[in-house]
Each structure stands twice: as structure tokens, then as C-alpha cells.
Chain A
């Protein structure tokens, strides 16, 4: 496989692992931000190949996991209405809201369609002028350009029946919130390669400096992750705190400028609630005023809907790297992918689901 097998080579993996072992003289706690990386780490058994000194904790970069309960309830509310076609990426469908998930709405007759791109949703809106077509715009900076593009196109064409339910979140404010927490344990970060593909990594430089924490922009294949870990460990052992780019085959320091331009034209920053963590200032996007006619929140008059998070789920602590999934008393017992108590058990990128699916019992291996 071009550009895949090369990054899964077992001989090279062993070489990097032995380099990590040689370099790591002290115990270090490293967080991978992105749920895609969590998934890759657990799926490939990478954390168990690392020396004891290195503890990987799993960050909040799983869009499904951090989407607040009230947004799921809003989605359920909209999708249940007649004359609505509700479109979404697949893995939002099973996330439990406070009463039901979107799969249940679908089985009750809601017109819910899984799409691979928001532009597919725009196409559905073109073909169904008598229906309101809503796209659930969930995700980090990675999916923002496409979503912005979809709104921009719909707006340009005068498609009044296309709207977004926006739940965009941003990585840098989350890192700042984690670092500012008195309970923080994280000493180094693997930054999310895909997010940086769009945004670049300039905005991480002041964070590395302010909190004196190494940040390495890292890819998603096993060798990427191992190399990212090695670079963080090297910095930690040398007392350095800078931003490095492991994923240079894709990521440039300035990022993808046309994509950023598109985002900025359509979205503006706003405070956003993170499931399990709470509100973080300026940590999300909402539509700019000139695009408000495509804002499902306004069209369906749901701005006032507020739902409190259940106090019981520890997924917030898991998302902050304070606890491991198996430290939860409900893990694998009351809480399984079949009966999820929290979103981290729903998404395949959620740390709890990854542990459940690939490790199950801590002692299984």
C-alpha cells in the first residue's frame, strides 16, 4: 500500500522503540490530542510496546465525545420533525442524547441520512426544495473548511432550505484549558496532524512557550506516533519546550491558507461547551451573522434549549487524561458500547470504546 505500509514497518518500529527506551531516563506523561491517534495507538498496541517510563494519556480530540448533550438533543429534536432531512457523518447516529439517539429517531420514521461530505447534503437540498436539509456540522478544525464550503455554496446559490447545526470545536483553547487546570498531569503533547494540516502550527508556539511544554505535530500511522513520542521524550529529557513537526509530509507551518480563508469567511469564534469538561472560552466556531439564515439553531428556534450534563459519567476526566477508562467502576460492566453511559464509549475514537474493543480486560494480554 503506497504511503501506508511504509509507516507500519515492524523493523523500523523496533528501531524507534529501542531509541525511545535509550532516551527515556525519567517517567513522562504524554497526551495524544486526537481521537484518531488514540484509536491508532490502541488498535496497534503501541502503548504496550513503549517502555514503562512513558505513559500515554488520551486527549479530548474526539469530536463525537466532546459534543455536548444539548446539541445531541437539538439534533434529535430537528430530525424528528416532518419535512426535514437530517444529514450527518455516521458515528454521530449512535451517540445517546438525554432521551434517545438518532438511530432511534430513524427507526421512528425520521429521514436521517449518513453522508461522507457536507457537499452531499447541499446536493440533497438542491434535489428536495420542499424539505429543510440540515447537516450536523461536528468536528475540529479538520472538518471546518468543508462545512464552510457547503454553507458558502448554498448561500451563493440561494438555497434557503440548507442549514448547519454547528458544533465545531478548536484544539488550542482545549490545550490551554488542560494546562491551566491545577490537576494537569500532561508534560508533552502529540498535536493532531489533520487539524494542523488545515491550521498549521504557528498557534501552538505561544502555548509551548507559555506552559513550557513540548508539542509535536504527529501523524496517524504507527511509525508516525512512535516518532512523535520519541521527539517529545527527547525534548523532555533535554528540558526543551518547542513545537516540532513530525508530520511534515503533510503539514506546513502556516497550514492550508485557502482553507483557513474559507473558514474565516463563514465562521467566527465563540465560547463552546465541551461534553464532560464544561465551557471553554473561544473554543468553537459559529456561523457569522451574514450566514445566520443557514443556522439550524435559529431556523428551528433551539437557541434557548439547554441540557445539563449528567454528573455521573467520568468521561470528562478520561478526556482530560486524569483517569484511564478501566478506572471507572462502570467500565465494561454497566457501560459497554452496547449500553454506553457516555460518549467516550460510543465513538470508535473514544478512549473508553477503544479500550473496550481492543483490550477489554486490563490483564487480557
Chain B
């Protein structure tokens, strides 16, 4: 029989290697490892009050003109996938980050890192779809940069986009603004982008092909802000880390609790089936054309109505509400009526063995 353990016994345990000396894939997964890296390394190195806003876009005041600035890099593999490609994603992703601050996105820069030997035909198709996506979102690509790296030093193509938008309203939705009683509205089915990428990458064929939901959300944001005005406390597009990462960030930044209801969360049948098959929880799977709006209770129905009227918000649902209790925590009522925490993951979501 083992002796009872004291806490100091664990100090000698040879197992822990949570503190890494080098960059791991998990540092880029949108989970706790990444937020640790940002907090402890980047914030430490770059610290200033504007950076500390920590929203998707920085809000800058230049002599009374308020601008939103945001940047994002795209390294997705495969570069062409059902429903889109890396170029569309790069335009829509930055347009969306700008839009979530309530700004009207206007200009984009594009940085291309290309691998020696990459097909010009594929590059042409990517550039073309970037132009189409930019036209669709009403933004202009106004500056760019091109670098080529040796074969094997990169993977075909990496794209960075930086975007600038103009804030014309007198309020800025922010993840710091959640209030007890606010309603959480999700703009549609979750997990489509992540599953589309994964099924393409793993060569999984489903009866109904699952397409990425990549889309620019600035039009939908305009509808939401017109309907809700300053009652729209926060907007966020749940990309990497999925719905869970967004809700946890809200709860932590605003020091509130959030409760959601599993049966209210919209998801397509083939997507939930694919998640079951792959052992993944759709709450953690990436989206590229969805947003979460947090709206004061008295305006929530009006905003929901406006979202339903927009093609990208047709499946919008109120999935939960903000609580004063349980600050920093997201809890969910499950299908069968149990309750559990919905926490962010440490690193990558790993498919289970059986």
C-alpha cells in the first residue's frame, strides 16, 4: 500500500515538462500555451497601453479620427480547400478583425512569402480570389511585399494581411464591455472551416462535402450595429480555438460569467458527425465566417431579427447569457440537462485513440 502523499512529493516528480525551451506547435493553437507566450514574451517586450487593449484590432485616435488597425498571417495547409483558399481567407480574416471593433474596413496590405518552385498558376488563382474577396468586402489592397524563400524553407505560400478601418460611430464594441444579463448571439453553424480543412488534409470524404464558411462579415456587422447601436457591447469572430476561445476571452476580460445552452448552438449534421468520427469537440473547432455578438437584453431580439435578415446571419441564435456570478468562467447546460465548464484548451485539440 502506498503512503499518503504530501504536496512536496510532487516537486521531485520527473514528469513535468510544461515549460518549454523551444517553440511548440501548441504555441500557435489559440489556446493557453499561446496566451502564455503572448503575455509573458510579447507583452513583456512590446508593452504599451494601446497593445494592452488586446482586442482583435487596435483602436487608434489620431487627432479625433479614430482608426482600427489589425494584422494576421495565414499559413493554412492545404492552400486550396472546399469553400475557399488561403487568399480569400487572408482577406476575409483581416476584414473581420477590423469589423469586430465596429470600424468600416477600408484598406489592406498584403505580404507574400513564397517558396521557390511554387506554381505561378496557383498563385494567380489565389491573387484573383483575393481581389474578388476584397471587392466583395469593399476594401482596397493598397500596398504589398513579396519575398521568396529557398525550396523547403517554407510551405508553398504564406500570406500576411494588415488592415485599416475607420470608426464612424461614437461607441466601440469591446471584449471588456460585457454586462450581466447581456444576451450571447451566434451568427450561424459552427466548426465548418476547421472540419473542411481537416477532411481535405486527411483525405476524408464525406457524403456531403463540408465547405469552409470563410466570408467577410463587415456587412453583417453593419446590420447588427444599425439595429443595436451602443447596446451591442461586444463583437468577436470565433476563429482559432473556436467558440470556446471567444467566450472564455469575454468572460476573463470582462470579469463576468457566461452560460450557454448546448441545444441552442447551431451546427450542421454532417459537421457534428465528422466531429464525432474524428473525436473532436466542435466548440473548439475554427470558424472563418461567424461572429458572436453580445447585446443588452432589451435590444437582443431586434439585433437577432436584423441578423436573420442578412444572408450570413440566417441561422443566428441566442445561445446564452452573461452572468454576474462565476466571473471568468463559461458554463454550459448539456443536451441532457447536466452542467459543465467550457474551458479553453492548453494546445492543439488531439484526435483520440478510440
A142 at the interface (CB under 8 A from B): yes
Q: From A48, A90, A92, A103, give the contact of B24 (CB < 8 A).
A: A103
Q: From B2, B7, B263, B278, give the contact of A329 (CB < 8 A).
A: B7
A139 B354 Cβ-Cβ under 8 A: yes
B352 A329 Cβ-Cβ under 8 A: no
With A107-B22, A107-B24, A310-B13 known to touch, is A49 a contact of B338 (CB < 8 Å)?
yes
A140 B7 Cβ-Cβ under 8 A: no
- Within 291-333 of A, Cβ neighbours of B (below 8 Å) are at 310-314, 316-317, 328-330, 333
A177 at the interface (CB under 8 A from B): no
Instruction: Work out how many contacts link A and B, with CB atoms closer than 8 A.
Output: 178
B15 A341 Cβ-Cβ under 8 A: yes
A10 B13 Cβ-Cβ under 8 A: no
- Output the least CB separation between A259 and chain B (Å): 13
**Contact partners of B353 in chain A: CB under 8 A:** 63-64, 89, 91-92, 138-139, 143, 349
- Within 1-45 of B, Cβ neighbours of A (below 8 Å) are at 1-2, 5-7, 9-20, 22-26, 32-33, 36
With A334-B7, A338-B346, A341-B13 known to touch, is A107 a contact of B25 (CB < 8 Å)?
yes
A143 to B353: give the CA distance in the assembly, Å: 8
A330 B272 Cβ-Cβ under 8 A: no
- Output the least CB separation between B61 and chain A (Å): 37
**Contact partners of B7 in chain A: CB under 8 A:** 329-330, 333-334
A357 at the interface (CB under 8 A from B): yes
With A10-B337, A14-B337 known to touch, is A116 a contact of B351 (CB < 8 Å)?
yes
Q: From A1, A98, A316, A340, give the contact of B272 (CB < 8 A).
A: A1
A4 at the interface (CB under 8 A from B): yes
**B 173-203 binary contact with A (CB < 8 Å = 1; else 0):** 0000000000000000000000000000010
Closest to A100 in B: B17
A104 to B341: give the CA distance in the assembly, Å: 29
- Output the least CB separation between B25 and chain A (Å): 7
With A4-B276, A103-B24, A116-B351 known to touch, is A340 a contact of B341 (CB < 8 Å)?
no
A356 to B341: give the CA distance in the assembly, Å: 9
A349 to B354: give the CA distance in the assembly, Å: 10
Interface size on A, residues (CB 8 A): 77
B329 A103 Cβ-Cβ under 8 A: no
**Contact partners of B144 in chain A: CB under 8 A:** none
Q: From B32, B329, B339, give the contact of A338 (CB < 8 A).
A: B32
- Output the least CB separation between A60 and chain B (Å): 14
- Within 334-365 of A, Cβ neighbours of B (below 8 Å) are at 334-342, 347-349, 356-360, 364-365
Most buried by B among A4, A45, A348: A45
A312 B13 Cβ-Cβ under 8 A: yes
With A43-B340, A44-B335, A310-B15 known to touch, is A89 a contact of B352 (CB < 8 Å)?
yes
A334 B26 Cβ-Cβ under 8 A: no
- Output the least CB separation between A111 and chain B (Å): 14
A226 to B336: give the CA distance in the assembly, Å: 11
A1 B269 Cβ-Cβ under 8 A: yes
A365 B276 Cβ-Cβ under 8 A: no
**Contact partners of A329 in chain B: CB under 8 A:** 5-7, 10
**Contact partners of B202 in chain A: CB under 8 A:** 116
A342 B15 Cβ-Cβ under 8 A: yes
**A/B interface sample: 17 pairs, CB < 8 A:** A1-B273, A10-B337, A36-B354, A43-B340, A44-B334, A48-B338, A89-B353, A139-B354, A143-B354, A336-B18, A338-B18, A338-B33, A341-B10, A348-B350, A358-B340, A359-B341, A364-B326
- Which residues of A are interface residues toward B (Cβ below 8 A)? 1-2, 4-5, 8-10, 13-14, 36, 42-46, 48-49, 63-64, 89-94, 96, 98-101, 103-104, 106-108, 114, 116, 138-140, 142-143, 183, 194, 222-223, 226, 310-314, 316-317, 328-330, 333-342, 347-349, 356-360, 364-365
* In the A-B complex, the 8 residue pairs with the closest CB atoms: A45-B338, A339-B18, A90-B350, A13-B336, A358-B340, A8-B335, A90-B351, A91-B350
6 more contacts with CB within 8 A, not counting A91-B353, A94-B350, A116-B278, are A9-B335, A44-B340, A107-B23, A328-B5, A341-B15, A349-B353
